[in-house]
Amino acid sequence: MKIEFLEKKISYIFENKNIIKRALTHKSTGLSEHNEQYEFLGDRVLGLIISEILILKYIDLSEGNLDKIFSTLVNKDKCAEVATHIGLGEYLILGKTEIASEGKYKSGILADACEALIASIYLDGGYSAAQDFINNNWLKSINSIDINFKDPKSALQEWSLKKYKKLPDYKVAKQEGPAHSPTFTVKVQFNDYKVAEAVSGNIKEAEKKAAIEFININSLEI
């Protein structure tokens, strides 16, 4: 594993290589030094830095609108997207079962590894180093946000209540993968409209994707 190639991609050189090694080590290896705790820390660091960026960028937005924007930026799907963009899967240290099942391509494992990577940068280089990494990898998404957008699930709910006085029905149709990195298939149905489904490593994100799919396949004007 050539850490220097990853360092070049993320524009950060680690002082302590053991920190980045732990961030890349999945618990399927059976090693005591794995990245699960780093995932926990990285999620909080990401949330704090994104929150700071948003309140500085959108000084007039209400807490509710800030929270909606925040949820599009701080989630497993976005972390997996960033991990894929930087090729993080190629550097992961996986156990035999995950190697055999191509775990380096699994969105859940990639998302967790991205959070662990953020934590490792924070632990090695401090807040500003983590801030630089997040700015470099989230800025495009932040700048492309439509501040007047509605959360697709909320928009679908408002439409169904206004038109029919009842809510769409969301169900987890399937759960696959290991307990530490599951994927969920969520279905949304409503009256006689076409049923929509979506897959994600997070139930809430799967529900949002399913809501978007429902709106699209039924050509709803919302």
Catalytic residue (choose from 43, 98, 112, 205): 43
User: Count of CB atoms within 10 A of residue 56's CB?
Assistant: 8
Tell me how far apart the 2 most distant CA atoms of the chain are, in Å: 60
For the cut 80, the answer to whether the pLDDT of residue 75 exceeds it is yes
Read off the pTM: 0.75
| Model confidence pLDDT, tens digit, residues 43-66 | 999 999 999 999 999 988 888 888
What is 3-143's CATH number, 3.40.50.970, 1.10.3720.10, 1.10.540.10, 1.10.1520.10? 1.10.1520.10
Mark whether 39 is an active-site residue.
no
Mark whether 43 is an active-site residue.
yes
- Amino acid (one-letter) located at 40: F
Catalytic residue (choose from 39, 98, 112, 115): 115
- Residue 36, both tokens: 């699960």
Architecture of domain 152-217: 2-Layer Sandwich (3.30)
User: For the chain, what is the mean pLDDT?
Assistant: 92
- Domains of the chain, by residue range, sit at 3-143, 152-217
Distance separating alpha carbons of residues 195 and 171, to the nearest angstrom: 11
Distance separating alpha carbons of residues 123 and 126, to the nearest angstrom: 6
Q: Which of 151, 152, 141 is nearest to 53 (CA)?
A: 141
What percent of the chain has pLDDT above 70?
Answer: 98
- Decide whether 3-143 matches 152-217 in CATH topology: no
* Contact (Cβ atoms closer than 8 angstroms) between residue 50 and residue 72: no
* Contact (Cβ atoms closer than 8 angstroms) between residue 3 and residue 17: yes
| Model confidence pLDDT, tens digit, residues 210-222 | 999 999 999 998 7
